[in-house]
Structure 1
Amino acid sequence: MSATILTVDDSASIRLTTRVALTNAGYQVTEAVDGLDGLAKLDGGQFDLIITDLNMPNMDGLTMIRELRKLPAHMGVPVVFLTTESDAEIKQQAKSAGATGWLTKPFDPESLVKIVRKVLGR
């Protein structure tokens, strides 16, 4: 069975690029448009990995991670940040919130798949 991945990004083009790269690599992808939508989708399902943007309307990625880490069913789910931010302080905040990895936009789809495989161990 392939891994299930939740992608959370307010950019339709990033969601499309991410979905195509991951589905072509054999993963099942569910999309959310912001942190609130991401949490709502988490409420209805189990995911092996979450990929989230940082800067989004309604709820940013850091807040979403902090909220999902409070949910027992999702405490151990790995989270990869996919963002334009590269500031060391932001990276530290993400790590403290519970992020597992980081990929800076713009990204190469092969790099995304490589990170996903590494984080999932498959």
Structure 2
Amino acid sequence: MTAIGFTGTQEGMTEAQKATLLRLLEGGAGEFHHGDCIGADAQAHAIAVECGYCPILHPPTNHSKRAWCDVPPHLMRPEKPYLARNRDIVDEASSLIATPLHAEEQQRSGTWSTLRYARSRGKPVFLILPDGSIGR
């Protein structure tokens, strides 16, 4: 079974990023791990469910930015601080999809930090840039 991890910005995805994510997920199946935050996580959750994926939530201990996506309790991991749960998403996935706010790498960004961690673990990363193109 495929297990995809997802990370994105709380500001949400651009229309181009959403369209590319839909194309990447279409016809697939498996688990879709995300952090249950407002913005990109909630948008990706809806797209993944539409494409037939089973969402697995990794919620943060800080509820101020939580999306509260709807899943049965057995598909929810324990709450953890942001950085720890981001690593769990990567560790449980076979690949990572990232939709950052900026095309250039940022140092103080949870999305970019998660992407760097995935690369350090040798996971394939699909970086969907704001214009919808797939970057390196």
Q: Same fold (TM over 0.5)?
A: no
